[in-house]
Structure formats: structure tokens, C-alpha cells
């Protein structure tokens, strides 16, 4: 099994540990380090992902830098393009640009930053995705009516992963992205979605995007209470059925996690990105790396 593995840096009260953690992930052989876009404005810790990834770029040399995912309707498109250009130059072209319509449209930060109204998020995201590649490449692009913008220095357009589990997100990924990035989904449910993604690509006569699954792992020995709380939130907040919610968190010893990674691969996933919850983040990162190695060995044995 060849699968790209990413984990997200935890949100802490100090950004300094994140840099050391990114170096740790690079040493462990991770393909990418992710940074979520969790600026809510209610006191919840949340760093600007572009700034954190810029610091990580300076402290690492190989690992990819993944936005997981950047909220496009919250930011001017030209500003996002300039940040991506800069980060591509700083990192030697290591950016993976995950994008989405944003999960906190009613948050204080959303309103303070002038984010798009709830009903306009999809339209603004589509418009941004139409413009971003041209702006990043340094081509003239009409951002405002009658006014063209050219950003320099030009940079390679990074892989663009479109987040969201809905049919609209899948269609957006086919039209504008290199990959589709669903989250909080079991391997069983992913298989059906992957089949639908292929159908949409055929309908639109476009290539089938890669699939990068996002989720949460609880690999610490004492994380049972954290798993229970997480599953309960999936039922209460995300309106999942209890059976579906119970199949979302990734838990267990490395051998069990390797089986879950293989199940995602069998369902159509090319990559898995997991947030490590439940404490002892460095140790959990080591266990996930061990699971990835076991899954790779299993795939080689099967082949």
C-alpha cells in the first residue's frame, strides 16, 4: 500500500512547540504536516495557518506543507494567491493547498473578518478557485470588474484539494481541484462516495480527482474518555447515527491502525490526514508512523 500520510499540528497557546513537532514529523518520514484553519474568535486557540506553515518551511527541508483546509470565502482571493506564491518560494514548492467553504460561518471571527454570508460561500469559493491558479502562476487575472492583477514572482500552482463531504464539494473538486478531501467518514461510507465521485467526473468529462481523507486518531493508552466525547459530538453536532459515529475515530495499536489505513486505501483513498487527539502528541505521531510502515508492508506482501 502506497498512501500519503499527514497529521495536523496541534493548536497550543505557544507556536514554538509546533516547529519542533514539524521537525519530529519530518524525521519520522511523514509525507506532509497539516495546519487547520480554526480561527473562530471565541477564545478557542487558533493560529493563522499560512504564518505557521511559513515558519515550518524555514525549519524543515522535505516534508510537504498542507493547508487542512483553508477557508476561501473568508479571505480576498488575491491575498491568498500572494501568500501561496510566497510560501511556494520559501519552501521550494512544498505546498499542498486544501481549501473549503468554511465550517464556522456564524463565528465571531467570520463576522469580524467580513466573511461571505452563509448562502454565498459556495459561489465565492468557486470564483476563488477559478482565479487562484492564474494568480499564482503570475498571469493577468480580473479580480475586480475591469481591473486586472498580476502577482509576481510567479510560482508553481500547488496541488489543490477541495474539502467537504457533500455532492457540491465533490463536483467542485472535479471542476477545480486535483483532489477531493472528505472528512469524518468511515471506510465503508467512503467507498460509496468514491464511486459517486467517479460518476461525476465522467458526467463532466473531467479527470477523477485523488481522494485525501481527513479524520481524528486517538492512539494514547488513556484516550477512551476522549474517544467517547468525540463520538458523542459527532452524534450531537454533526447529526451522525451512533453506529456511523463509532466508526469514524481511528483507535487501537499500530496493527489495528494499519488495518484501518488499508481499509481506506481499499475504499479509494490516496491519502489520509489525521489529527492526533487524546494527549501525548509526540508518542501518537510515532505510533501512527509505525502503523503506516506496517500498512505498507502488508500491501507489499499482498502484491
- Using a pLDDT cut of 70, give the percent of the chain over it: 96
Burial 131-170 (b: 16+ CB within 10 A, else e): bbebbbeeeebebeeeeebebeeebebbbbbbbbbeeebb
Regarding pTM above 0.75, the answer is yes
How high is the pLDDT of residue 189?
95
Question: Residue range 78-106: average pLDDT?
Answer: 96
**Is the per-residue pLDDT at 300 higher than 80?**
no
Give the model's pLDDT for residue 204.
97
Categorise residue 43: left if φ over 0, alpha if ψ from -120 to 50, beta otherwise.
left
Tens of pLDDT along 120-151? Answer: 999 999 999 999 999 999 999 998 877 899 99
Whole-number Å distance between alpha carbons of 186 and 125: 26
Task: Identify which of 72, 52, 56 has the alpha carbon closest to the alpha carbon of residue 20.
Answer: 56
Over the stretch 184-193, which tens digit does the pLDDT of each residue have? 999 999 999 9
Average pLDDT for the chain: 93
CATH, domain range 1-158: 3.20.20.30
Q: For residue range 8-24, what is the model confidence (pLDDT) as tens digits?
A: 988 765 555 778 899 99
Task: Tell me the β-bridge partners of 154.
Answer: none
What is the residue extent of each domain of the chain? 1-158
Burial of residue 126, with CB atoms counted within 10 A of its CB: 0-12 exposed, 13-18 middle, 19 or more buried: middle
CB 103 within 8 A of CB 46: no
CA angle, 32 then 211 then 6, to 5°:
20
Amino acid at each position: 500500500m502506497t498512501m500519503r500520510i499527514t497529521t495536523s499540528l496541534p493548536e497550543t497557546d505557544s507556536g514554538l512547540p509546533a516547529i519542533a513537532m514539524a521537525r519530529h514529523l519530518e524525521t519520522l518520514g511523514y509525507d506532509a504536516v497539516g495546519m487547520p484553519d480554526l480561527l473562530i474568535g471565541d477564545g478557542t486557540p487558533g493560529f493563522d495557518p499560512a504564518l505557521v506553515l511559513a515558519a515550518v518551511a524555514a525549519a524543515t527541508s522535505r516534508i510537504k506543507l498542507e493547508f487542512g483546509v483553508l477557508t476561501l470565502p473568508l479571505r480576498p482571493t488575491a491575498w491568498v494567491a500572494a501568500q501561496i506564491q510566497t510560501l511556494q518560494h520559501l519552501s521550494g514548492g512544498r505546498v499542498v493547498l486544501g481549501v473549503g467553504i468554511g465550517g464556522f460561518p456564524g463565528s465571531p471571527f467570520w463576522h469580524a473578518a467580513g466573511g461571505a454570508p452563509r448562502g454565498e460561500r459556495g459561489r465565492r469559493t468557486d470564483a476563488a478557485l477559478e482565479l487562484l491558479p492564474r494568480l499564482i502562476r503570475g498571469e493577468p487575472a480580473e479580480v475586480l470588474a475591469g481591473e486586472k492583477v498580476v502577482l509576481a514572482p510567479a510560482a508553481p500552482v500547488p496541488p489543490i484539494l477541495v474539502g467537504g463531504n457533500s455532492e457540491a464539494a465533490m463536483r467542485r473538486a472535479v471542476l477545480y481541484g486535483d483532489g477531493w478531501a472528505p472528512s469524518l467518514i468511515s471506510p465503508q461510507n467512503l467507498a460509496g462516495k468514491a464511486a459517486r465521485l467517479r460518476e461525476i467526473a465522467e458526467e463532466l468529462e473531467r479527470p477523477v480527482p485523488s481522494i485525501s481523507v481527513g479524520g481524528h486518531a486517538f492512539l494514547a493508552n488513556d484516550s477512551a474518555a476522549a474517544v467517547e466525547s468525540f463520538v458523542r459530538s459527532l452524534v450531537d453536532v454533526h447529526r451522525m447515527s451512533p453506529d456511523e459515529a463509532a466508526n469514524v475515530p481511528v483507535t487501537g495499536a499500530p496493527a489495528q491502525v494499519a488495518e484501518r489505513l488499508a481499509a481506506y486505501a481499499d475504499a479509494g483513498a490516496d491519502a489520509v490526514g489525521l489529527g492526533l487527539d487524546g494527549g501525548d502528541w509526540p508518542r501518537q505521531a510515532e505510533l501512527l508512523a509505525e502503523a503506516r510502515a506496517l500498512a505498507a508492508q502488508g500491501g507489499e506482501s499482498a502484491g
